[in-house]
Structure 1
Amino acid sequence: MNETIDNNDTQLAVMAEGLFLANLLLLPGVCFAWLTYLYFKHRTTASALARSHLEQTFVASIIGGILLVIANLAILWLGGYQSANTWMVLILYFTTVHSTLVLLGIVGLAKAMAGAEFRYPIIGRFSFN
C-alpha cells in the first residue's frame, strides 16, 4: 500500500461499515440514507481505503434491498402473507441472505478498524464506477 492512511480515512471506512450493519440490524432506511449521503459526498475525494469500504457497503446495501424485495415477491407468489409458505421464505431469507450480509459487515468492520481494504465475496465484484 503506497498511500498513507489518514485517521479520517479510517474513521470514514469504519463509519461506512457501521452504517451498513446498523442498516441491517437497527435502523433500516435511515442508516441507508446516511450511507448514501456519505458515498456520494466522498466517492471521489476519499482515499482508496475509505472509497473501498464506502463502495462495498453501498453496493451491498442495494443488493440486500433487492434480495429483500425478491423474498417479498416470493412470499406473495407462494400464497401471500397468510400462507404457511411465508415462514419458510422468511426463515430461509434470514438464515442465508441476512445472516451472510451481517457476517460480511462484521468482517468488513474489523478490516476497516485495522485500516485494511476488504472486498466482499461475490457481490464485491459489482461497482458503480
Structure 2
Amino acid sequence: MDDADRQRAICAHALYLANLLLAPGLGFAALWWCRRRWQPQAGAELRGHLRQAFVAALWSGALLLLVSLAVVLLGGLGNSATWVLLILYFTLIHAALVLSGAYALARAMAGLPCRYPLPGLWRPR
C-alpha cells in the first residue's frame, strides 16, 4: 500500500472513531463521503480498509441504537432494571467498538490489513 492509500486508510478508521466518540452522524457522513470519493481509484488494501470502516460504522449504529431501543421498549422507562441493563449494555458494547476501532487504526497506521470482529466483515483470505 502506497503512502497516500495508507493515509486514506488511517483517515477512514479515524472517522469511524470520530463517529463513535466525537460527532455521531457527522463522522459517519464524512466516512460515507470519503468512501464514495476514494473507492474508484483505491487499491485492494485501501478498498478493504474503507469497506471495513464503513460497514463497522453501520453495525455500530445498529448495535447501539436498535438494541438500546429494544431494551427500552421491552422493559419500559419506569423500570429501574431497564436502566441498569441499558447502561451496562451501552457501556460494554460502546467500549468494545471503540477498542476494535483503535486496533483497526493502529493496523492502518502500520500499513497492515484489518478485519473488525463483526458479522459480515470476516472473509477468507
Please classify the TM superposition score into its range, dividing by the shorter chain length.
Answer: 0.7 to 0.9
In 1, the alpha carbon distance for the partners of 2:79 and 2:45 equals: 46
User: Structure 2 matches for 1:103-122, cutoff 5 A?
Assistant: 103-122=99-118
> Is the counterpart of residue 55 in structure 1 residue 51 in structure 2?
yes
Deviations 1:71-99 (A, max 9, x none): 1221122112x43112322222221x211
Corresponding residue for residue 102 of structure 1 = 98
- Confirm or deny: 8 A CA contact 1:71 1:93 kept in the other structure: yes
Poorly superposed stretches of 4+, deviation over 4 Å: none
Letter in 2 for 1:36: W
The TM-score, its normalising length taken from structure 1, stands at: 0.85
Residue-pair matches, total: 120
* Percent identity (aligned): 38
Q: CA contact under 8 A between 2:59 and 2:118: conserved in structure 1?
A: no
Gaps of 5+ in 2: none
Separation (CA, whole Å) in 2 of partners of 1:30 and 1:83: 33
**What is the Cα-based RMSD across aligned positions, in Å?**
1.5
Give unpaired runs (5+ residues) of structure 1: none
Distance in 1 between residues matched to 2:102 and 2:83, nearest whole Å: 28
TM-score, length of structure 2 as denominator length = 0.87
